Structure 1
Amino acid sequence: MSSDATKHSIEKRIGASQFFSGLRPEFIELLAAHAKPRRLADGEVLFHYGERSDRFYLVERGHVSVEVAAIAGPALELQELGPGAALGWSWIIAPHTWSFQARASTAVELLEFDGNAVVARCEEDP
């Protein structure tokens, strides 16, 4: 698939999502310019607590478990997010590190957005 076809596909996917409903086409284009598809296998970790955060995600298929570290034993699930859910807002707030862990609880397809690039574009053209 060409990069133009990929960008158009991503624009359509963003425009179809409930989370981004109501956005004007130019904002959908801006988001699409800084997004890429990503897949996770069941059990794969998307990000870990304490790592630098500079991305956010839109779950399209499957489920993602939002977890926190336990004092002992496996991580504790706080929430499970499914299709249409947005995840990963730690990149907006200092110190820009993940305050939780996200793990695929099924096979997952999502869009990954470069948060820093989106903010930079918004600051250039408020």
Structure 2
Amino acid sequence: MKTLLRTTCLALMLALPLTACKTMQGGTSGANKYDMTYLRTQIKPGVTTSDEILSLFGQPSYRDDGAKGPNYWAYNESDDNALFSTAMSSLGLGTAGNAMSTRRQLNIHFTNNRVHDFSVTQ
């Protein structure tokens, strides 16, 4: 019984950080969703809609919406890393989680409910 419990705990300890890492990645390619190469493949100015952005990135950290739709949305990478930091802290590796906490921000501007332009700032 003790061996089964230890094996289960070990499996969970290994799986939880990997699951958290997946939330920081975009799609199935494994690319970081704040990487410009990934962003250029996923976001096309004049084409990509706000609904498509929501499906790619979820709810923004900050949003400025007007009567005709969104004007500006911001996504903070540090918000995405919160799950990873929590997972690492629960394993007693809090400093490893904090090391992953970067400060990049994805800024998306919209016109007529479509992406006008986007940028990543640090």
TM-score of the alignment, normalized to the shorter chain, above 0.5:
no
Larger Rg, first or second structure (1 or 2): 2
Using structure 1 for the length normalisation, give the TM-score.
Answer: 0.26
Larger proportion of helix: 2
Larger proportion of strand: 1
